[in-house]
Structure 1
């Protein structure tokens, strides 16, 4: 009697292979593992990027991306000229879970920023005072100096957006921005850590500032919208 063959599984219901992990996710896991194995704690410094890249046999750009991921989560603090300082210790499983959750919500954070900050730029162009313009210019000058010194310009960037929020004179929008501040910092760090991004971001800020100086609400809103599109472009290396 002929044995009956089991029915074939329809192609559409076949299990798919797991997605290949991003390279920087693998590196994040290895870096956290290194902290634990080396007995590093809060206040200790990680080895320089070049040394980490050599030990892990990857590019410095990949190591830099992994360090940004840890910085966004508050695990380390990257100081220009001083390296990466550990701020808290975490487990490999915990840091990867946070990393993937953040990647999933990145688009939502950008959407929220677009809804709030485009309107804030428009209002700032209508309501700014000489003092507001001075604060905006001071933030731009600080970011310009940071970028010229080879830094990412995070502090100047943060002060620039805060100055626009103040110039808009909307207590409700300001309160909403304050609630989102930790998540906005995530997108700021990720964006400014992209190759050549600090200068591009500074250029975008200068266009926003010029429109606010000119008292042109539409130009200010358009310039802010373009800037946030740039912020949303974050590319992470993937495993080969």
Structure 2
């Protein structure tokens, strides 16, 4: 069976707005920090409803491409609007809750075991990962690599081959959830602080505290704009 002849999806109106906004930013040579026209003006100039414009802005927010400041307009976060296809966003939104549930179950237990079983080498790996994440954030990056290294170090410190295998089996989905979380405004520094709390509990061999700190962290990861987005709005 082939999927090639599945029914074609009709492009939503807000997707057309996204295409126009991407073109507007490119042709106007707009850069990070520049402000987009107000939603009312965009709706009038494009001949669409404000609802369609608002939904397009939400999609850009979800992808971390713009920042909508309350009462202060919408500003570019990057130098271009390289928008991910909406269908990919919809698919990721569908599977993200299950991934986050799995992360909470697995990583909470991993942190608990790490506090019981960690070696000095394990602690060194965690500290190096945090140092790298701090360097990333200092240079304006979201800290994705440092985050990945830290969680990998916690997994290794648990010294559980079965749990480590479970983590490897969903590594691609975990990477998606990591990127989704760290592109939320202010999230990298908050994530770094939560990692420090996890490391402190593991260092002090406090399993219950390590598990609680990891649970708080993963629940913060779960608070992403994507899950609040309704792809059917603004048709």
Normalised to the residue count of structure 1, the TM-score between the two structures is 0.66
Q: Give the aligned length.
A: 192
Higher Rg = 1
**Equivalents in 1 of 2:81, 2:90: separation in Å?**
23
Residue 150 of structure 1: aligned partner: 140
Alignment RMSD (CA, Å): 3.7
Residue 113 of structure 1: aligned partner: 103
1:135 aligns with 2:125: yes
2:31/2:78 contact within 8 Å kept: no
Query: CA 1:55 to 1:199, structure 2 compared with 1: closer, same or farther past 3 Å?
Result: same
1:49/1:64 contact within 8 Å kept: no
Name the SS of the counterpart of 2:140 in structure 1: coil
Gaps of 5+ in 1: 1-20, 38-45, 70-80
Query: CA 1:63 to 1:202, structure 2 compared with 1: closer, same or farther past 3 Å?
Result: same
Normalised to the residue count of structure 2, the TM-score between the two structures is 0.67
Query: CA 1:170 to 1:34, structure 2 compared with 1: closer, same or farther past 3 Å?
Result: same
Query: CA 1:85 to 1:194, structure 2 compared with 1: closer, same or farther past 3 Å?
Result: closer
Gaps of 5+ in 2: 1-11, 24-28, 43-52, 66-76
**Equivalents in 2 of 1:64, 1:98: separation in Å?**
14
Q: State which of 154, 157, 166 in structure 2 corresponds to 1:167.
A: 157
Deviations 1:115-150 (A, max 9, x none): 100000011111111110000000011111212222
Residue 103 of structure 1: aligned partner: 93
Deviations 1:64-105 (A, max 9, x none): 535459xxxxxxxxxxx996797xx99xxxx33332121122
**Equivalents in 1 of 2:127, 2:81: separation in Å?**
31
Report 1:167-206 matches (<5 A).
167-206=157-196
